[in-house]
Every structure is written in structure tokens, then in C-alpha cells.
A and B are shown apart, each in its own frame.
Chain A
Amino acid sequence: MSATILLALRIALAITLYAFVISALLILWRDLKRQSKGVIQTVVPTIKITTREDGTSESYEYTLSEVTIGRDPNSNCQLDDNSISAQHARLTYQQTQWWVEDLGSTNGTFLNQEPVTTPQVITSGDNLRCGRIVFQIQIGDIPGGDADDR
């Protein structure tokens, strides 16, 4: 009896081991396919940033793979606001995802009310706040669409 239970456990053990190996290999394989696709079409999905300030809204669209936000005139998204630091935050497209990272700003960067301390992934519909300026993020053409599918 005990031996049969243990045999079942031993089979489960082997299945778990191979589930680990095979799922790792599968993900790697999918990554490889996506990467080879990515090499052919290195199109960065457009990121659209909409600011809402005092009832007015302004939209910026970028097809770059790196968008800097700050008061500095060299920033891609230059905003004249006292709560914004010269180099405030950076949006980058890496590994088929858009990421946001804080560049050591005075008033901080917040993603969906959470402070950004390490690079974070952003998706369509996210709320991004730099200082007191709030951005609405939209990636790609269709609101809420997944960047990967493009």
C-alpha cells in the first residue's frame, strides 16, 4: 500500500520535474519566435500620453523607443511646470513592453498612485503622475490593446 502511494508520488515528482524543464523550453521557444519576428519588424508601438490639466487635455504621440519627460528643453516631452524636475522620468520600450522609470525627480513619479522606484511596466489605461501632472497612457491605436499583438 505504502509503496503504491509512493509510486504515485514518484510519478508526480517526475512530471513536476519535466513540467519545469518543458515549460521553460516552451517559453524560450516562444520568446525566440517573437524575437525573430521582432528583428524583422522593429516597429515600436506608438505611445500616446494625454495630460489633463485644469479641464484642458493635451496629447503627445511618440514612435520612439525612448521618451524622456522633464522640464529640460531637450526632453522629448517637455513640460513647463514647477513640480516637474529637469529630467523627471523616462519611458522606454524594451522586451516588447513599455517601461517607466523615475530619473531621480524631486517630486517623484507615480504609476496608478504607487511611487515608481524601480522600472515598471506600463500598459494602456495606466495613470502616470509626474509631480502634479497626471498622464493617461495609451499604447498602440486601439485603447486597451495589447502591444504584443502588433
Chain B
Amino acid sequence: MPDSRKPLILRTQTTPNNRIQGRLLNLASLFMLIYAAILTLSPAVRGRSWDVDYPWMHWVGLLLWFVLFNLAHSLSASRLPARDPYLLPIAALMTGWGLLTVWRLFPALGLRQSIWLIPAVGIFIAGLRFPPVLDFLRRYKYLWLTTILLLTALTLLFGTNPLGYGPRMWLGCCGIYIQPSEILKLLLIVYLAAYLADQNLSTPSSPLLPLLAPTLVITGLAIALLLIQQDLGTAFILLFLYTSILYVSIGRFQLLIMGLIAFIIAFGAGYILFDVVHIRIESWINPWMDPSGSTYQIVQSLIAIANGGMTGRGPGLGNPGLVPISHSDFVFSAVTEESGLIGALGLLLLLALLVNRGISIAINASGAFRSYLAAGLTTLLVAQSILIVGGNLRVLPLTGIALPFVSYGGSSLVTTYLSLLFLLLISVPSEAQRWRVPNLKPYLQLGAFLLCGLGILMLATGWWTLYRSSDLLTRTDNPRRAINDRSVLRGAVLDRSNDPINASTGSAGDLMRQTFYPNLSNIVGYTNPTYGQSGLEASLDSYLRGLGGNPGSLVWWNHILYGQPPPGLDVRLSLDLELQRIVDEKLGDHNGALVLLNAQSGEILAMASHPTFDANRLEENWEDLIQDENSPLFNRAVGGLYSPGAALGPMILAEASGKGELPDIPQDLSYSLNGFTLDCALSPSEQTWSAVVGNGCPHPAANLGSELGSAPLSQLFQDLGLYTSPLLRLPASSSTPDELDLDPAQTALGAGLQVSPLQMALAGATLSAGGVRPAPVLATAVNTPQEGWVILPAIDEPVKVIIPEAADLTARSMAVGGSPFWQSIAISPPNTDNQKATGIWYLAGTLPEVKGTPLTLALLLEEENPKLAIAIGQSVLQAALGAISP
């Protein structure tokens, strides 16, 4: 089928070369067509609907690309039939890929880049008609170089930056900006190649310095200019180019050592002299230190690359625009996010092909000048790619240079196409001048070095896209999570009768998280694009986001199709909104925390931490909330740690009475703990053990501790779960006692120990549940698409702590007259040296003979008001008994 191999518009002679170039260009055109089609259709996938706005403008760029490269193809085919047939298609593919990527990121810049393509490819085409351009360049090498050095120097005076900030390396007028340093690189190569070609390099032992003196001066000048401009990437490229061209032409190993020394000196000087270098190096070595400040770019770049994974999110389907300057410096991360490891490897393979062709052209060139020039140009294109791609991948420190062919930038595009033109002209064999490369080795070594660099980049891309992907994507500074939350329904958090507490409302693309019961905001938490996640929204995120509980294949398929998780799963909590309402109402404006739980199953029926906040109004209140000294964002019920004082007395009493005879009740009921005189919370009406312990009298509790002894007491506290954080799918706090060899009397009063209201409730549950501490449960079930509601079992195990009879007996002895529950009250001594009590503990629970659900309640009220604590606790417990018991 010879017809299919013909290029699409203009007919050219079918020589093998033209056929290869035509076929490769056809493949590139097909790539572009598919890419553009995907870009047009992508909003349908994003919105998961056909009724969306489809972008068409980038087809203009595609058309322009198509026309220009067909012209370039047919002209190169007829003018230079013996040229290298690979260069133009490689360039066309990379340019087109970059063009559509830029267009996809910022349509306005895409249009500008398309317009810049006209002069770039135009100069290329014009140059094809004028092959002597190389000799012309060679002859007037000093003139060109001086001109461009002057232009570069002018940027020191009149330099500007099209962005309005950043290094001022452009000369601009009337909306057109030119970066002379781009052209400087090219002309320096021309100069070096021309100069070295004019020297007699055949005698191997001639001294190097006189030979190199002029080039040293000129290259040094150029590098100095760039250093003053702080264009460090380009300065480094020049140094590398200089070393490479010298090595290729002279072939002496000592040049490499000299180059290395020069590089180390420049690097060290830059590190000391320039803050920019300092920052770049620091953020290269440790990018995680300041991910919202100086290392923001590199961290975001790595997250974008990680989001690409193996297959990429698809053109138009990722969020590469989240990386700053993704159209130029970070275009490789944009490509990798949307085309994945597969696409990135393809791009790097194209560069590897370029190395192969460039070095081969240099070796087969018809003269020394052409050979050095070809080697230099190949090095320029590939080394620059390695430097910037390496920067994106954190293989190398970040430098602000363009990725040739792909990045946005007019000057870069024009320079790149000039390089391509020269390479193409050199690739044409000439009969007029027969010249053989005297020493092949340096060329092959240069090629191998560049290929090694590309190989390392491929490995690094694999590392970030596959191995480190999940670590990076679950980072809280990955904005894609918040974006996904707007388009994928997040599971709801429900109470025990499936009434919503937190749920997402709105339509796909515009989903909002809403809290239907704001008082639970510091417990259920929030999920917010700006402030991240907290509470159960954070700890149950995997289910709510649909990553846990769904079949792996569904998660995978959604990830491949949309780059998003499947719709999230609803999670049911043990909380009862009716009881919760009563608790919040009773606790009101008083600071403190309350936990009400089912003493047998450990299910938490109500949990409150006051003051609280409204997660629906996080944006307007955030500053106040984080500065509020009462910490409304903080969940006191599981995270607040308070000194227990004599509040653990009932459990110690039960344990002691289970062990044997009780000691005599001391006359003086108060006790001095760490210099603080701890009193009973209320005066006991009678001198019985249950009365003194139930009113939180410290001295009797201390005596009970002494009676039990140090080791059994520690064992009791450990069994009560006071030394460990409760496990309940919500991070909870605990303290470990500082000194374990304390006097048991002090241990009994919780010296050196702090407990959370949740821990206290679980410990108190032993008296209502026959001596067993239940395992806490807050999230009870998750609604999976396949099996419906699936129970989430308790993480912890129930622990038998106290002999059942002793527990029941103690509970009965502390019963509140006429009520079906027991209660105790105690002062929470100060946490620190502060001479003021922290508040009041109130602990209560149902009696063993009560039918129905056994309940336990723990309240910490942050004010020294025992009567209020009793009032709150009793009313809640009575309401709960009324609501739950038949």
C-alpha cells in the first residue's frame, strides 16, 4: 500500500528517507488527532454528562501544526532528500504534544504558542532553502556572538519579565518578549565549534591553555552574564556544553576533570553568593520541610506526577494546572499527570531517539565544524531536557529552563527549531568534503552519558508514579482530594436511626459538604477544601471516599476511567441524635465534655464537647476558632485529658471490696496531693464507704489504694484502660503515668495520671456491666453496594476487670435514692501547679437490676460546680432511660 505512506497534503518523491519521514509524521498526526479529540470530549467525563461545554479552540492550533509540518516535510523532502528522516517527526510530535498540553492548561497561552510556531517553523523552512547558512554562521562567528552577548547584557539594563515578576531575562516591546539567553546558547555552540574546527587538534600533547584561552574568556563572559541575571540553569547548561564540545573535539580526559572542577567551584560559589541557589538546593535535599512555602512547587509537581500513575488521568482529565508555571518549567509534570508513566516514558524515549540521531549525525558529518556543531546541538537539546525534567522529578535541583519543543515559550521554540535546522543540514552527506571523525570514543561517551541521564529520569518517573504514588496522593496538601469531593458523592455520616449528621448536597461538580447537626462538629468533624479534615470525617475517610468497603476492581476501574474514587459509602454511627440533642441542650454554654454509652456493648450513644462550632461556617469563623482560648475545635470527650482525683474511687472500692475486708473510714476526708488540698466534691451525708467515695472524698480513696497495694492498683488501672488510648476508629488520647513506683495512696487519686471523659466512661461502665469494661464503638456499620449494611466490629476486646458481684454490690450501694442508677462525683485537681481545680467529674450508670440497656455516663464540667454537674448528669441519664428503656 504505497498510497498510505504518502504524506497527507503535498506529494513528494518516494525515497526511503521521505517514506520514513512521511510515515512517522502520519503517526504523529494521528497522535495529535486523538489527543485533540480527547481534549474536546474530556469535559463530558469530568461532568459525567454529555450536556457540557466542549472546547474546540485547540483544533486551530492542531490545524496550524498540521499545515506547518506538512510544509516542512515536503520542503525537506525535496530540498534535502538525503537528510536524516527522524529528526523532523520527533520534533513535530514533541512540539504538538507540548502545544496541546499548553492549550489544555491555558488556552490563551496555547494560542500564543501556536502563533510562535509560525516564525519557528517558518525560519526552519526558510533555512532549508538556504543550506550555506552554516558556513555563513561559521565565517562571522565573532560578529554573531558579540551581538548576542550585547543583547544579553542589555537585559541587565532593560530586562523585563512577561509575568511581571521573577528574573528579568527578557527584552520586550509591544507584547512580544525575546529571551536573548536562549539564542546565546545556540550561538555559543556555533562559536565553539567554529573556533575548534579552525585549530589544529591533531597533535595530542600540545598545551591546552593557549588553545583554549579565547574560548575560556568568551564562555566565562557568557556564564558571568547569566549568573548576574540569576539564570542559573542556563549558566549550568553553558558550562556543560563547553565541556562536552571541548571533549568531543579534543578528546582528552583531563578536560572532563577540569569541567568537573569548574562545576564544583561554580556550584559552591553560587551556593554561597545567591540565595536562590541556596533555596533551590535546600528544597531539593528536603522538599518536605516547607511544602506550603519554598518547596511548594516541587511538592506539587511530585503530587501531580504521582497522580499520573501508570496510565495517566487522560488528556484534559487531570489537574496539572495546580502546579505553578505548569505550562513552562513544569510541563513534564503536566504531561505525566495526564499521560502517566506510559506517556512520560514515551516522551523520554523520543529524547533518546534524538540522542541517537544527533550523535550519529555528528559522527557522519562532512567536516569538523559540522561535527562539533551537531554534537553541541544534541547536547543542548537533551541536556536541557534532562536538567528540567530532573528538576520536576527531584532528581536534580530545580532550575527555571524550558523543556525543548514542549514548554511554552517563543524564544525557546525558535532556538530549538534553529538547532533542528542545523542538525538537519549537517545530516545531509556532502561529497565535496571528505572528513572522518578522528576519535569516535568521545562522541560515543557523550551519547552514552546523555542516554544514562534519560534512563535515570525514566526510573525516577517510575518511582514517583508507582512506588511513592499513594504516599503522595494521601498528603493533605494534595488539592485533588478536595476537587474529587466536589465531583464524587461522599458518603454520609448517619446516626443510629440513619438520620444524616454530615452529608454532601448539590450536583456532581458542585457538591458541598453539609452538617445537619452542627453541635457535633468537633466530634464528627469536617472535610473542607481549605482546612482539610478532622474528626470522624478524617478517620473514616477511606469509607466515606469510597476507597474502603468497595470492591478493589470498582475502585480500580473508577481510577482508570475518571481518576477518582467511586461514590463514597455511608457510615452509621452509634450516636442517637435524639439523646445528643438532650445532652447538648443540658450542657449548654458550660465548658466540658460528656460521654454516654451502652455499658454492655460499648456503643457510644451521645458524645459532646463544649464549646463547639458550626462546620458549615468554617470559612467565616476560622480565624476566631483557632484563636479561641476555649478551643472549640478540640474534641474534649476523647482528646481532653483531666486529672481524675478521687473520681476513680468507685472502681477502687469495688475492687477492694471484692478482695476482702474494707479498712476504717478516716476522720479527715481531705487529702493533700502535690501541694493541692483536695476535698470532697460534696460533703457526705453519712460516714459509709459508698457515701464518702460517691462524694469524691480523697482520703478514703487514698486509703483504699494503700489497702490494695501498688501492683494490684496499677493492674486495676491498666484493666480499666486508663493507661491506653481507647480504640474506636477515632484518634483518642491517653496519658502514661510518669512515675510507676508512686505511693499507692497517691496512685489511687490519679497522681501523675490524666484521663479523658471517654476513658472515664469506659471505666465507670464496669459497675453497670458486671465488672466488664466494654470495647468502645462509635462507627457501627458501613453501607456497601454489594452486601448492604456491613457491621464494623469493635476494634478492642471487652476486659473483665472486677468480680461481678463486687461491681453490682458497689453500684447498688451508691444508688441515688429512688432512681434506677448510681452516681459519684469528684473534684478534678489541677493539671499543673495551678492552684485551681480543673473541674468536676460526674460518673453515673444504671443499676444491675434495671431491665433494658445498661447505661454509663461520664461528664467533666470545667467549672467547680458539683450541683450543676449532678443536675446535668441526672437529667441526661433520666432522659436516656426514658428514651431507651421500655
Segment at the B interface, from A19-27, A45-53, A56-64, A72-80 = A19-27
B27–A3 contact, CB under 8 A?
A: no
The complex places the Cα of A3 from the Cα of B52 at a distance, in Å, of: 14
A43 CB–B CB distance under 8 Å: no
B350–A21 contact, CB under 8 A?
A: yes
What residues of A have a CB within 8 angstroms of the CB of B37 in the complex? 9
What residues of B have a CB within 8 angstroms of the CB of A118 in the complex? 78-79, 81
Contacts A3-B45, A3-B561, A121-B15; A13 near B35 (Cβ below 8 A): yes
Contacting A at CB under 8 A, from B1-54, are: 13, 15-17, 20, 23-24, 27-28, 30-31, 34-35, 37-38, 41-42, 44-45, 48, 50
Contacting A at CB under 8 A, from B327-368, are: 339, 342-343, 346, 349-350, 353, 356
Contacting A at CB under 8 A, from B56-114, are: 78-79, 81-82, 86, 89-90, 93
A14 CB–B CB distance under 8 Å: yes
Residue of A nearest to B78 (CB): A118
What residues of A have a CB within 8 angstroms of the CB of B45 in the complex? 2-3, 6
B13–A7 contact, CB under 8 A?
A: no
A124 CB–B CB distance under 8 Å: no
A17 CB–B CB distance under 8 Å: yes
Contacts A7-B561, A13-B35; A66 near B82 (Cβ below 8 A): no
What residues of A have a CB within 8 angstroms of the CB of B20 in the complex? 27
What residues of A have a CB within 8 angstroms of the CB of B79 in the complex? 118
B89–A20 contact, CB under 8 A?
A: yes
B81–A6 contact, CB under 8 A?
A: no
Identify B315's interface contact among A13, A16, A120, A121, CB under 8 A.
A13
A20–B28 contact, CB under 8 A?
A: yes
The complex places the Cα of A27 from the Cα of B78 at a distance, in Å, of: 21
Residue of A17, A18, A25, A27 ringed by the most chain B CB atoms within 10 A: A17
Contacting B at CB under 8 A, from A103-137, are: 118-121
What residues of B have a CB within 8 angstroms of the CB of A21 in the complex? 346, 349-350, 353
User: What distance in Å separates the Cβ of A105 from its nearest Cβ neighbour in chain B?
Assistant: 18
B503 CB–A CB distance under 8 Å: no
The complex places the Cα of A131 from the Cα of B426 at a distance, in Å, of: 33
Contacts A13-B31, A13-B34, A16-B27; A24 near B86 (Cβ below 8 A): yes
Residue of A nearest to B81 (CB): A119
The complex places the Cα of A94 from the Cα of B429 at a distance, in Å, of: 9
The complex places the Cα of A21 from the Cα of B344 at a distance, in Å, of: 13
Size bracket, chain A contacts: 20 to 34
B643 CB–A CB distance under 8 Å: no
The complex places the Cα of A34 from the Cα of B93 at a distance, in Å, of: 27
Contacting A at CB under 8 A, from B480-511, are: none
B38–A20 contact, CB under 8 A?
A: no
What residues of B have a CB within 8 angstroms of the CB of A94 in the complex? 82, 429
The complex places the Cα of A95 from the Cα of B84 at a distance, in Å, of: 11
A92 CB–B CB distance under 8 Å: yes
User: What distance in Å separates the Cβ of B318 from its nearest Cβ neighbour in chain A?
Assistant: 12
B24–A24 contact, CB under 8 A?
A: yes
Residue of B50, B81, B429 ringed by the most chain A CB atoms within 10 A: B81
A10 CB–B CB distance under 8 Å: yes
Identify B50's interface contact among A2, A16, A19, A28, CB under 8 A.
A2
The complex places the Cα of A25 from the Cα of B23 at a distance, in Å, of: 13
Residue of B nearest to A120 (CB): B13
What residues of B have a CB within 8 angstroms of the CB of A2 in the complex? 41, 44-45, 48, 50
User: What distance in Å separates the Cβ of A62 from its nearest Cβ neighbour in chain B?
Assistant: 16
User: What distance in Å separates the Cβ of B500 from its nearest Cβ neighbour in chain A?
Assistant: 29
A83 CB–B CB distance under 8 Å: no
B27–A9 contact, CB under 8 A?
A: no
Identify B34's interface contact among A9, A66, A99, A119, CB under 8 A.
A9
A40 CB–B CB distance under 8 Å: no
A13–B38 contact, CB under 8 A?
A: yes
What residues of B have a CB within 8 angstroms of the CB of A6 in the complex? 38, 41-42, 44-45, 314, 317, 561
The complex places the Cα of A139 from the Cα of B342 at a distance, in Å, of: 46
B343–A14 contact, CB under 8 A?
A: yes
Identify B81's interface contact among A9, A18, A20, A120, CB under 8 A.
A120
The complex places the Cα of A17 from the Cα of B38 at a distance, in Å, of: 15
Identify B27's interface contact among A4, A7, A23, A66, CB under 8 A.
A23
What residues of B have a CB within 8 angstroms of the CB of A5 in the complex? 41
The complex places the Cα of A144 from the Cα of B270 at a distance, in Å, of: 67
Contacts A6-B314, A120-B13; A17 near B343 (Cβ below 8 A): yes
Contacting A at CB under 8 A, from B382-416, are: none
B431 CB–A CB distance under 8 Å: yes
What residues of B have a CB within 8 angstroms of the CB of A99 in the complex? 81-82
B311 CB–A CB distance under 8 Å: yes
**Binary contact readout A30-50 vs B (1 if CB under 8 angstroms, 0 otherwise):** 000000000000000000000
B81–A121 contact, CB under 8 A?
A: yes
B227 CB–A CB distance under 8 Å: no
User: What distance in Å separates the Cβ of B269 from its nearest Cβ neighbour in chain A?
Assistant: 41
B560 CB–A CB distance under 8 Å: yes
User: What distance in Å separates the Cβ of A78 from its nearest Cβ neighbour in chain B?
Assistant: 20
B24–A23 contact, CB under 8 A?
A: yes
What residues of A have a CB within 8 angstroms of the CB of B48 in the complex? 2-3
User: What distance in Å separates the Cβ of B96 from its nearest Cβ neighbour in chain A?
Assistant: 11
A9–B41 contact, CB under 8 A?
A: yes
What residues of B have a CB within 8 angstroms of the CB of A20 in the complex? 24, 27-28, 31, 89, 93, 350
A17–B314 contact, CB under 8 A?
A: no
B562 CB–A CB distance under 8 Å: yes
Contacts A6-B42, A120-B13; A95 near B82 (Cβ below 8 A): yes
What residues of A have a CB within 8 angstroms of the CB of B429 in the complex? 94-95
B86–A16 contact, CB under 8 A?
A: no
What residues of A have a CB within 8 angstroms of the CB of B339 in the complex? 13-14
The complex places the Cα of A19 from the Cα of B27 at a distance, in Å, of: 7
User: What distance in Å separates the Cβ of B337 from its nearest Cβ neighbour in chain A?
Assistant: 13
A17–B41 contact, CB under 8 A?
A: no
User: What distance in Å separates the Cβ of A100 from its nearest Cβ neighbour in chain B?
Assistant: 11
B38–A9 contact, CB under 8 A?
A: yes
Residue of A23, A24, A28 ringed by the most chain B CB atoms within 10 A: A24
Identify A10's interface contact among B90, B311, B350, CB under 8 A.
B311
What would 12 A/B residue contacts be, using CB atoms closer than 8 Å? A4-B561, A6-B42, A9-B41, A13-B35, A13-B315, A16-B30, A19-B27, A20-B28, A21-B353, A28-B353, A95-B82, A118-B81
Sample of 11 more A-B contacts, CB < 8 Å, known A16-B31, A24-B86, A99-B81: A7-B561, A9-B37, A13-B34, A14-B311, A17-B31, A21-B346, A24-B353, A94-B82, A95-B16, A120-B81, A121-B13
